[in-house]
Structure 1
Amino acid sequence: MTPRNATLLLLAGATLWLAARPADVLTELKLTTEAVHDQTFYQLTTEAASVDLPYEARQVGKRLSVSARTSAVRAMGAVVRTYVQSAGFRSRYDRWLQEQYQVSDQQTADARQTEQTSMANVRALADQQVGQTNAAFAQMPPATLAMMLQQQMTQLQQQIADADAPAKAALTRDLMVLRQLQPLATTKPAEFKTQYMAFLNRYMARQMSHGLDNEETRLADSKAKAADYRSRLAQYQANANPNPLLKKRLAAFVALAESVDFDAKVSRQGDKLEFVRADYRQQSDDWKLLYRIGREPVMAARDMARAWLKDLS
């Protein structure tokens, strides 16, 4: 938010004492409280913002006398400061900040879980699952295992059809082993169970090894993303309090307001007025805007900005 925006919104000129009731001033300026809240939030959270006030409000503002404009500064300042100090503003600011840094409670929990996970944990879990599977197979009668073998052969045939050359060779070897074992299910059920269980152990070990390699790569990628998230989370937490940003905006406005020469002379150059002094013609748009607003309203805003800064210190 530039000092120019702060002045137009009176964000820099907020205090709790009034020379007019805020509701009356807003009504006269054709503004709603919600519109002022939205503009206040926009100016605080946008570096190069422009104030989007209704045409009617701008025209009414131009017609105000100096004293009325000064009263409006104080009244509008009260609306702004009350809003910035409200729980609603803090909640809105926090939601906006979370979006800026792409953080959330769920992502924080996910990052914490990833950080606490190691390949040792993954291997231990895989070993446990294999052990449970073997225990379940051991309880099955040979006839049930024979049906499972038939299903596995069908699956292998489908996989072979879609596999590349290296994988196809390994799958074909597995299929040949199962075809050799299949007759034993009828002729020698006990031996069939022993040999098929041995095959399953080798098969699962190979699958687990391949899966662990993939999991190690995935976990490394997840940990890198968790580290990046932690960096964003730290930035979010460092900016969670809007007061430092608010102080920066207010201090910038005070400095600018005090630099304006309200006694500067102007002369008509064609169809517009220009400053007589060349260096004033080079001043920023913000500086020139404060000049046009006038000494009394700007100094009132400056005093209120100082008071707010003091309260924030």
Structure 2
Amino acid sequence: MRRIVIFTLAGFLMAATAVMNIFDELETTQDKAKETLVSAFGSGNFSASYDLVKKARSLPVELRVEGARQLIRFAKDYTRTEEFKDQYKRWRQEMLGGGRRPKKFGIPNPMKVLDNAIDKQLNKSDTEKKVPADPNEMLKMRLQEFLDVSATVDFGAQVSGGRFVKSEYESKSPQWKMCYRAGKDVIQVAREEAQVWLKELE
């Protein structure tokens, strides 16, 4: 009986170690993850490199599920830091055209200058809505977008020759397809964590 208990405890410890080392499993680092989090959340584009996706999909389902939970909690902890807030502010300024531009010489066309100013103001207004100044508002937006999209994914969809059997699925967004490829188990735990996170931000 004692040996059974010892082996069971060892199994739990091994599982915990595997979860805690998800960055090692993916052969990446927390610093690299931090570098991508700002632009990923800011733009809503959570695409990863082919090699990273391949490594993730090669992991056992149990480890992928627990790994997803850990990665989301890591992201939540990092987005609470001043470092993230500062990086997001810089990224947003660049998105809104806050960087310096080289000077141009010559006499400008007044009408063209006016048209460009109007276009710039309209584009800036649209961008400001998509990337709000408050990082928490941006995070709430992205989490809700994920919950909305992931709720519509048909994980039972059939694929043939690298394409969906149902042609309408081919026109789905990259986010929808990303959720489908991640699998029902992974997305289910991701949704659970996202819902908790969203409530904490409200």
| Mapping for residues 28-47 of structure 1, pairs under 5 Å | 28-46=25-43
- Counterpart-to-counterpart distance in 2, 1:96 and 1:70: 31
| Mapping for residues 213-252 of structure 1, pairs under 5 Å | 239-252=132-145
- Counterpart-to-counterpart distance in 2, 1:51 and 1:278: 23
Q: Which amino acid aligns with 1:264?
A: A
Q: Quote the residue 2:87 is aligned against.
A: 92
Given the alignment of the two structures, is residue 281 of structure 1 paired with residue 170 of structure 2, yes or no? yes
Residue 25 of structure 1 deviates from its aligned partner by 0.6
- Out of 59, 62, 66, the residue aligned to residue 57 of structure 2 is 62
- Counterpart-to-counterpart distance in 1, 2:158 and 2:91: 44
Measured against aligned partners, the alpha-carbon deviations of 1:196-231 in whole angstroms (never above 9, x if no partner) come to xxxxxxxxxxxxxxxxxxxxxxxxxxxxxxxx9xx9
Measured against aligned partners, the alpha-carbon deviations of 1:120-159 in whole angstroms (never above 9, x if no partner) come to xxxxxxxxxxxxxxxxxxxxxxxxxxxxxxxxxxxxxxxx
1:83 to 1:20, Cα distance in 2 relative to 1, 3 A: farther
- Counterpart-to-counterpart distance in 1, 2:28 and 2:171: 33
Measured against aligned partners, the alpha-carbon deviations of 1:37-70 in whole angstroms (never above 9, x if no partner) come to 01111112235x4635472x33321211221111
| Mapping for residues 70-81 of structure 1, pairs under 5 Å | 70-81=65-76
- TM-score (structure 1 length as normaliser): 0.45
Given the alignment of the two structures, is residue 51 of structure 1 paired with residue 47 of structure 2, yes or no? yes
Count of residues in correspondence between the two structures: 159
Q: Quote the residue 1:258 is aligned against.
A: 151
Which residues of structure 1 form unaligned runs of 5+? 1-18, 104-227
1:286 to 1:102, Cα distance in 2 relative to 1, 3 A: closer
- Counterpart-to-counterpart distance in 2, 1:82 and 1:21: 20
Residue 245 of structure 1 deviates from its aligned partner by 1.2
- TM-score (structure 2 length as normaliser): 0.67
1:262–1:291 CA contact under 8 A, matched in 2: yes
1:41 to 1:305, Cα distance in 2 relative to 1, 3 A: same
Measured against aligned partners, the alpha-carbon deviations of 1:75-98 in whole angstroms (never above 9, x if no partner) come to 111211111011111122233344
1:94 to 1:307, Cα distance in 2 relative to 1, 3 A: same
Which residues of structure 2 form unaligned runs of 5+? 1-15, 100-120
| Mapping for residues 97-246 of structure 1, pairs under 5 Å | 97-99=92-94, 100=96, 102=98, 239-246=132-139
- Counterpart-to-counterpart distance in 1, 2:192 and 2:168: 27
Q: Which amino acid aligns with 1:96?
A: W
Q: Which amino acid aligns with 2:197?
A: W
* Higher RCO (C-alpha under 8 Å, 6+ residues apart): 1
Measured against aligned partners, the alpha-carbon deviations of 1:243-280 in whole angstroms (never above 9, x if no partner) come to 111111110110111101112233x3xxx233332322
**Which secondary structure does the structure 2 equivalent of 1:259 belong to?**
coil
